[in-house]
Structure 1
Amino acid sequence: MAGNAEHAVDFAAGMLVAPTALADWLIIAPSILTIMGGASILMVRERAKLHGYMACTYLTLLVIIDLLLLRRVSLEGPITMTMGRWLPPFGISLTVDAFGALMATIAAIVALAVCVYSLVDITVAGRRFGFYPFLMLLMTGVTGSFLTGDIFNMYVWFEVMLISSFGLLILGGERIQIDGAMKYAILNLMATTLFLIATGFLYGAIGSLNMADIAVTLRKMPKGEAPMATIAALYFLAFAMKAAAFPVNFWLPASYHTPKIVVSAIFAGLLTKVGVYALIRTMVLLMPESRAMLSDIIAWVAALTMLLGALGALAQNDVRRLFGYLVIGGIGSVLVGVAVGTENAITGAILYAVNSILVMTALYLALGILMRMNGGKYNLAELGGGYKASSWLSILFLVLTFAACGLPPFSGFWPKFMLVEASLKENYGWLAMAVLVSGFITTVAMGRVWAHAFWRGGPIGTEDGKEAAPLYQLAGSVRARVFAPVSVLVLLITAIGVFPLPVVSIAQSGATTLINPDRYVEAVFGAARAQQEMRAKEHGSTEPGGDHGEQAEPAAHKEGTH
C-alpha cells in the first residue's frame, strides 16, 4: 500500500513488529489442526470408511502437539501468542500455563481413546451423519477453551463446543435422544447466556477482556469501585450449570445416558470439566477477592454436589444413569478446592479434574464393552457373569472402580488426600468429612455395580453360575479396538497413582500461577514491554514516559480506555 515517506506509520506504537517465533505456533496449532481435520473429513463424506482412520490420525497429531506444548510450558512457564500482532490487551491473546496445557493434553488423550473405540461402535450411517466432523469440532472448542487468554474468546469456544455437542447428542435421531437433548440444550443455553451477561458486565467495569489485564486491574482496583461480587456470582452460576453442580445438575443424568456409549464417554470426560476449568480460571485467577467472599457458599455447593452425586449413584439400577451421578459427584470434589482456595487445595482440584476425565471416559467405554458382550443390557438386574466372559474386563473395571472412589493406589487417591488435608488446615473439617462420606457412598455404589456385573454368576432369576443366555464373544479385531483404548487409559490411571510426582508437579505449577499470576501477566505483556523499551531507546529522550512507553501496560490502567 502506498504511503507518505515523510509521515510513515510507526507500527511499533500499536502492534508487535517482531515476527512470531516458530515455537509459538504450537499454541494455535491444536485449534488449526482440529478445524482442518473436521473440514477434510467432510470433503470425503462419501467415503465413510475413511472417516474414523482420518480422525484417529488427526487426534494422534493433537496428542503430540499438546505434549510438546505441555513440555515447553513446564520448562519455560506460561507462553502467549497474540493474534493479529496487536499489542495486548487489544489483540486476542492465546495464553497457555501449566493448568491449561495439562487439561488440553489429557483431553486429547481421551478423545483419541474414544475415537479408536468408535471405529467399531459408529455405524456407516453415523459416519455419514457427521460423527467424526462433530468430534473434531468438539475438540476445537474444548482445546480452545483451555488455551485462550481472553474471557470473551472463551465464550466463543464454549459456543463451538456446545454446537458440536448438540449434533453428537442427537446423532441417530431416536426419541429418547431428542428428549435428552432438549434438557441438555435448555440448561446449557441458559448458562451460556449468563456467561455472556457476566462478561458484558465485566467489560463495562474493567474495560478489557484480556485475562491478564483483568487480573492485574482487579488486584489494584479499590474495593467497592465495581460490583465484582455480583459479577463473580453470575460467573459462578453460569459455570456451575455447565459443570452440573448442585442445584442445577438435573440435566446431566437426564441426558448423558441417551446417546451412543462413545458420545456419553466423551461428554462425561470433557464437557463438565471445561465448565470447572472456566470456573477455576475466573474465580481464582481473575477474581480472588470475590472467590474468598463466596467461599462458604461454594463450600456448601461442593458438599451438596458430592453427596447428591454419591446418593444418586447408589439409588440407580441403570448403570448409564449411575455413571452420570458419578460425574456430578466428581464436580463437587473439584469445587472443594475452589472453596478452600489455597495452593494445595487448587492443586488437588486440578488433579481431581484430570482423574475424572480419565476415569469417567474409561468407565463408559468399559460399560460399552460389557454391553457388547451381553446384548446391550445395562440394568443391574440383567447383568451377571461378566468375570466368566472376560476376566480382563473385570480387572479393568475394578481398577476404574477404585480410581472413581479415590482409593489407593490409583489416580483418584492423591487429589482426595490433598483436598481433605487442605480442608482440615483451613478449618473446613465438615467439608473434609463430606469428601470422605461421599467417597464411602461412592465405593458402595460402585462395588454394587461390580458385584452384580462381574462377581455374580448370572442375572436375577437364574441359578448362580448359569447365565440366562450365553454372553457374546467378541471377534479378534473388535476385541482389540475396544479393549486397547480402555487398557491404555487404565494404565495411565495406574501410572499416575503409583508415580504421581510428575503430574502433581505440573498441577502445582498451574495452581501457583493461578494464585500468583505475575508470570502469567509477564507472558502476556512481556514482549510488548520489551518492544516499547527498545523503541524508547531508539527515540532517545524524544518520548520519555510518553503514552507509547506505557503501551505495554494493561490498557485498563490508563484513564480514558473505558
Structure 2
Amino acid sequence: MILFALLLIPFTYLMLALLIKKAGIKKRLALVFSTLNLLWAMALIPIVQFKEIIVVQMGGWSAPFGISLVADRFSVLMLLVTAFIFFLTTVYATQSVDKARRKNGHFFFTFGILMGVNGSFMAGDLFNLYVWFEVMLMSSFILVSLGGERKQLEGSIKYLILNLISSLFFVAGIGLLYGKLGSLNLADLSQKMELARANLAVLNPALILIFVGFAIKGALFPFFFWLPASYHTPPPAVTALFAGLLTKVGIYSLIRFYTLFLYYDAGFWQQVVLWMGALSMVIGVVAASSQYDFRKILSFHIISQVGYVVIALGFFTEAALTAAIFFLVHNMLSKTNAFLVAGWVHREKGTLNLKVLGDMFKKSPVWGILFFISAFSLAGLPPLSGFFGKYLVLQSGIEAGYTGVALLALFVGLFTLFSMVKIWLEVFWKKQPEDSAMEWPVNQKPAHWMLFSSLALGAAIVAMGLWAAPIAEYCEAAAQDLLNPSKYIEYVLGPS
C-alpha cells in the first residue's frame, strides 16, 4: 500500500473528475490531491532511509511472476521532486490556465501525467514501465493540443509521431528481450545477464531498441527534434510541467537501465552514452543561442542540460552517479521555475518574443529576481544549486580520466550563461521598444498564486545550493545502491 498509494491518489482524482461537472470543484480537488501526493512522497524519505529499498509485490505474486513496485533512494527522491513540482504547477495553473482549458479537463490530464510519472519511477519490470510511458504519452498529447490552436496542433502532431516511434522501439526491444531471456522483471533480467556475460552480444539488438526508446523520451541527440517543436505551444503551466518531468523520466529510465543491464558490456555502451551526452550538450546550447523566443531558448536548453546527466552516467563512477542524481534534481527545479517566469511574462505582455519585450524588471523586481535565480542556476553560478551540480560533474569527469569531456561541459556552461544573460537583458533590463508595446487588460487580477509557486521553487533552488552537502550525501547513498545491483536483485527476488 505504501507505494501503491502514489498510483491510487491520482487515479482517485481521475475517477472523481469524471463524475463532477463543475470546473471550480475540480480545481479545488486538484489542489487537495496534489497536496496529498506531496505529503505521501515526503513520508517515503525516512522509510527508504531505514529500509534502503521498498518492494511491494502486487496481488501477493512473488517476483519475477507478478507485478513489482520498487523504490530505492534514487526513485524516492525522484518521486518527491515530482510531487513538489506537480503541486506547485497545479497551484500556478489555477491562475495561469484560462477557464476554457480548465473546464475542458486541464487538471484531469495533468493527473494522468502524474500517475504515469509515479508509475514509471516505481516500475519493477519493463512491460509496466512501457505501460506507464503510454499513460504519460496519452495525457501529455491531450495537454499539448488542448485549446485546438493551429500552432498547438502542429506541435502536438510532431510530439505524438516521434513519441509513438519511441514506443515502437521500446516495445519491440521488450519483445526481443523476453524472447531471449523469458522474463521482463528488472531484477530477474539483471541476474540473468550477469550469468550470461560471455554471450551478451546476442542481446544487443533488443538493448539497442530499448536504449533508443529511452533516448527519444529523454530528448537526447540525435532524437530531440520533437521537443523544441512542441514545448513552446501549450499553456505555460503545461510547458513547465513537461520541462520538469517528462524528459526526466526518460533519463531516469536510462540510468536505471544502464546500472542494471548495460554496464555488463561497458566497453561498448560507455562510449555510446558519453558521445550522446556530449553531443546533446553542444547541439542544445548552440541551437538555443540562435533563438529569440523565450520558451524556445529554454526548450533547447533542456536538451543541453540532460546531456550533463548523461555524460556523468557515462563516467560511471560513484562520484559521477552522485553528480548525475544531484544535477538531475537541480535541473528539474531550475528549469520548471524558468518556464513559470516565462508564463508570467506571457500573461503580462501577450508575447514571448525577446525583440519586442523589455522593462519587465521595472514592472516586477520580484519576478526579475526569480528569473535571475533560475537562469543563473542553470548557468552554474554560485551559490545556487547549478554551481554545485556542474562542479560535481566536472570533478567526477576529471577523476575518471575524461578531462576532455569535462572541459567540453565547462565550455557549454559558458554558452548557457550567454543565453541566460541574453534573456535577462532583452526581457527584464532593456527598455521596451515603443512601437511594440503589448499590454493585456489593465484590470487583470494579480498573479498571487503564480508568484507563490515561483517563490517556492526559487527558495528550493537557493536551499539546494546552501545545503548542497547533505543533499549530495543522500545522492551518494543512492549512487552506491545503483552501483550495487545485487542489492536490488536480493530485495526484489529475495535471498538466493
Name the SS of the counterpart of 2:227 in structure 1.
coil
Contact 1:335 1:349 in 2 (8 A): yes
CA distance in 2, matches of 1:169, 1:159: 15
Task: Check if 1:49 corresponds to 2:24.
Answer: yes
Cα separation, 2, equivalents of 1:212 and 1:470: 56
Identify which of 384, 392, 395 aligns with 1:418.
392
Q: 425, 441, 444: which one pairs with 1:451? A: 425
In the TM superposition, what whole-angstrom CA distance separates every residue of 1:178-227 from its partner, at most 9, and x where no partner exists? 10011111111111111111111222222211111112221222412552
Q: For residues 105-164 of structure 1, give each alpha carbon's deviation from its aligned partner in whole angstroms, at most 9, with x where no partner exists.
A: 101111111100111122332123211110111100000000111111111100111011
Asked if residue 98 in structure 1 is aligned to residue 88 in structure 2, the reply is no
* SS across alignment from 2:55: strand
Residue deviations 1:14-35 (CA, integer Å, cap 9, x gap)? xxxxxxxxxxx11110101111
Which residue of 2 is the match for residue 433 of structure 1? 407
Counterpart of 1:172?
A: 147
**Cα shift readout 1:481-524 (whole Å, capped 9, x = no counterpart):** 11000000010011011101332222222211111123222221
For residues 19-418 of structure 1, the aligned pairs below 5 Å read: 25-44=1-20, 46-224=21-199, 227-374=202-349, 376-418=350-392
Task: Give 1:472 shift.
Answer: 6.8
Residue 468 (structure 1) shift: 4.1
* Contact 1:102 1:506 survives alignment (8 Å): no
- For normalisation by structure 1, the TM-score amounts to 0.85
Residues in 1 aligned to 2:112 and 2:409: alpha-carbon distance in whole angstroms: 35
| Structure 1 partner of 2:466 | 498
Residues 461-483 of structure 1, C-alpha deviations (whole Å, 9 max, x = no match): 67xxxx946787686x6321110
| Change in 2 beyond 3 A, CA 1:183/1:471 | closer
Change (3 A) 1:209 1:453: same
1:512 aligns with 2:480: yes
| Counterpart secondary structure, 1:87 | coil
Between the aligned partners of 2:439 and 2:217, the Cα distance in structure 1 is 42
When residues 300 and 91 of structure 1 are mapped into structure 2, their CA distance, relative to the original with a 3 A threshold, is same
Change (3 A) 1:350 1:215: same
Query: Retained in 1: the 8 A contact 2:69–2:123?
Result: yes
Does the C-alpha gap of structure 1 residues 225 and 406 become closer, same or farther in structure 2, counting only changes over 3 Å? closer
| Distance in structure 2 (CA, Å) of the matches to 1:473 and 1:418 | 46
Hey, which of these two has a bigger chunk of helix by percent? 2
| Offset at residue 292 of structure 1 (A) | 4.0
How far off is 1:274 after superposition? 0.4
Rate the CA distance shift 1:316–1:387 in 2: closer, same or farther, 3 A.
same
Letter in 1 for 2:115: T
Name the SS for the 1:94 alignment partner: strand
CA distance in 2 between partners of 1:66 and 1:469 (Å): 42
SS in 2 for 1:227: helix
Q: Distance in 1 between matches of 2:252 and 2:371?
A: 27
Q: Distance in 2 between the 1:518 and 1:205 partners?
A: 21
Distance in structure 1 (CA, Å) of the matches to 2:487 and 2:269? 26
Q: One-letter code of the match for 2:155? A: G
CA distance, structure 1, for counterparts of residue 2 and residue 168 of structure 2: 31
Cα–Cα, structure 1 residues 469 and 190, in superposed 2: closer, same or farther, change >3 Å? closer
- 2:159, 2:227 within 8 Å by CA — same for their partners in 1? yes
- Aligned AA (1:404): L
Contact 1:399 1:490 in 2 (8 A): yes
Change (3 A) 1:291 1:111: farther
Secondary structure (helix, strand or coil) at the match of 2:230 reads coil
Higher CA-based Rg: 1
Question: CA deviation digits over 1:294-342, x for unaligned, max 9?
Answer: 2112211111110111111110001111111011111111111121111
Give a deviation string over 1:439-468, Cα, whole Å, max 9, x none: 100100110100111111223x67xxxx94
Distance 1:79 1:292, change over 3 A: farther
**What do the CA deviations read for 1:207-266 (whole angstroms, capped 9, x no partner)?**
211111112221222412552333332222111111111111111101100111111111
> Residues 372 and 472 of structure 1 are in contact (CA less than 8 Å); yes or no, is this contact kept in structure 2?
no
Residue 289 to residue 225, structure 1, CA distance change in 2 (3 Å): closer
CA deviation after TM superposition for structure 1 residue 423, in Å: 1.2
Check the 8 A contact 1:126/1:171 in 2, yes or no: yes
- The SS at the match of 1:89 is coil
Aligned to 1:223, the other structure's residue is in SS state: helix
Aligned pairs, how many? 496
Q: Deviations over 1:537-560 (max 9, x none)?
A: xxxxxxxxxxxxxxxx5xxxxxxx
Amino acid at match of 1:453: V
User: Does the CA contact (< 8 Å) of 1:218 and 1:287 recur in 2?
Assistant: no
One-letter identity of the residue aligned with 2:150 = R
CA contact (8 A) 2:95 2:447 kept: no
Q: Is the 8 A contact 2:166 2:216 kept in 1?
A: yes
The two structures, once aligned, show a CA RMSD in angstroms of 1.7
Q: Which amino acid letter does the alignment assign opposite residue 321 of structure 1?
A: K
Instruction: Verify the 8 A CA contact 1:229 1:290 in the aligned structure 2.
Output: no
Structure 2 CA distance for aligned equivalents of residues 328 and 362 of structure 1: 17
